[in-house]
Structure 1
């Protein structure tokens, strides 16, 4: 579902993210970890052609679409409908003057989805939210509810790939577990491909099949999550693990 080769993202000639290889299959979960400023989010945004003003080179395919050569029309059809981006703070991306149901209905119609009301109800229930939440405004829901609403929107649109940027960083431990549980269940039931960006290694250990470790824009280690987190080969990975409380 995601194929990356020799990705390089630079600003003003200065590289900020370099990923030699990254693959995510249907039903698979891959995590990119590292400290702030390591290039994780830039890598994620580049997969959908959202790194504005950046120089990007390499090969990037998402759901079979060549992101590097695709037209803006093709990218609009890819974003949301097939590959959805779940941001770190979804409430900041939602219009405060518009009810959640109106926002979801508008997105479904823009992507030509039939029977939006049924799709909305099924998607909201799939992430364990009460359908009544669709009548609320963004400021009337909690951070965890907003995060699950963002995931529900991706499901309603029929996304095959979810790109999640720090989806639990602003949530308490109980709500974090709820969001992770939803992602894990959807991956198993629907065969979603999940690419997760996080600095929370405890979270990564519960959901990721494979891990890429980034430092200063470069991948310093990658492999099965069980091996990387239990027997890291790179000093930086060991430093990250030793920093855990």
Structure 2
């Protein structure tokens, strides 16, 4: 689902991320860990072409699309619909004046989710055509609401939350709503940047449980950026450790976390309380 080779990201000629190899398969979770400023989020954003001021070189394929050579239109087709980005503080990206249901409905319509097949097709008889179009619109709206309800329930939220405003939900609910939006869009890959930061332990467990279940049930590929090694140990299959923009160690999560080979990885583990 994600294939990266010799990725280098520079700002003003300064190398801020250097990733020789990064692969994420269907149903797999790969975590990128390291302290703040190590290049984790920059790497994540470059995978979707969302670092416009950066000089990016190498090879990036996401869901079969060559990100570095794809047109802006082609990138818009995969963003959201096939690859979803869940940011550290999703509430900052939610309009405070708009209900969550309206926000989700707009995103789904933008990507053509829930549209009734044949909507707008002409008929030989004018009145029949009007009737058919009206029925198609009704069916399309019903399907859209069904998709939205199923998505929020998949992340253990009540569908009533769709009537709320962003300020009326907690941080954990906002994170799960962001994941629900990815589910509703039918995303095959989720890029999650610190999805449980600033959440209490109980809510962290809920969010991780949702992501783990989605991987098992839907074959979702997950690329997780985190500084929380305890969290990573519960969900990741493989781990990349970054320091000062470079990958200093990588391998199976159990191996890297139990028997680290690089001094920096050992320092990270020793810093855990």
TM-score normalised over the length of structure 1: 1.00
In structure 2, the partner of 1:43 is: 43
1:72 deviates by 0.7
Partner in structure 1 of residue 148 of structure 2:
120
Once residues 113 and 143 of structure 1 are traced to their aligned partners in structure 2, the CA distance between those partners, rounded to angstroms, is 27
Extract structure 1 runs of 4+ deviating beyond 2 A: none
Distance 2:76 2:103 in 1: 17
5 Å-filtered alignment, 1:67-86, equals 67-86=67-86
Q: Secondary structure at the match of 1:154?
A: helix
Instruction: Give the superposed CA RMSD.
Output: 0.4
The aligned counterpart of 1:62 is: 62
Select the residue among 224, 227, 244 that pairs with 1:196.
224
The CA deviation at 1:52 is: 2.0
Provide structure 1 residue ranges, at least 5 long, that are not aligned to the other structure.
Answer: none
Instruction: Compute the TM-score of the two structures, normalised by the length of structure 2.
Output: 0.89
Gaps of 5+ in 2: 115-142
Residue 182 of structure 2 is matched in structure 1 by 154
Structure 1 residues 205-227: Cα deviation after superposition (integer angstroms, max 9, x where no partner): 00000000000000000000000
1:83-122 pair list within 5 angstroms = 83-114=83-114, 115-122=143-150
Q: Does 1:32 align with 2:60?
A: no
CA distance in 2, matches of 1:189, 1:217: 34
Q: How does 1:186-225 map to 2 (within 5 A)?
A: 186-225=214-253
CA distance in 2, matches of 1:221, 1:233: 7
Instruction: Mark the structure with the bigger radius of gyration.
Output: 2
